[in-house]
Amino acid sequence: MRRAVIMASVMLLSLTAFAGKAEREYMKNEVAPAVKAAEAKFKEACGCALKITVKDSIKTTDDMYEAKHIAESVTEGAPEYCTDAESKKAVCQMKSLDITKDKEAKFTFKDGKGVASTDGQVYTSFELMTRELDK
């Protein structure tokens, strides 16, 4: 029994030792490119710049997976939404977008800054953002 506990402890220690590397690699190889693509596509489609920042509350690869989906939603949604001057004006109010983890997935907007959050299981879509921006 004692040997099993020691082995389990060693395995847990091994997994946590590599957790930081896995998150750094996922952020570098998956999330950062998705954010850059979203910023570029938003500017191309809507005619204005959007600075997207993944906040420190996004820590695990599960959270990063949802953050990546938020960015991809902007990439896919901007060209579909920004098809007329009124729509472009509505979304161009947003100068920056923070991606965070919170108790619930939601979008808030104030003073040019959008905050799209994930609860770790659900992400905020661009469609939800535009509903708030287009009020």
Per-residue pLDDT tens digits of the chain, which is 135 residues long: 444 433 333 333 333 333 588 899 999 999 999 999 999 999 999 999 999 999 999 999 999 999 999 999 999 999 999 999 999 999 999 999 999 999 999 999 999 999 999 998 999 999 999 999 998
- pLDDT at residue 19 in the model: 52
> Are 83 and 126 within 8 A, CB to CB?
no
Q: So what's the pLDDT on residue 69?
A: 97
Per-residue pLDDT at 12 = 36
What global pTM score does this model have?
Answer: 0.83
For residue 115, what pLDDT is reported? 98
Query: What string of H, E and C letters represents the secondary structure of 45-100?
Result: HHCCCCEEEECCCCCCHHHHHHHHHHHHHHHHHHHHHCCCHHHHHHHCCCCEEEEE
Q: In terms of DSSP bridges, do strands 96-101 and 107-110 run parallel, antiparallel, or are they unpaired? A: unpaired
Q: What pLDDT does residue 18 have?
A: 38
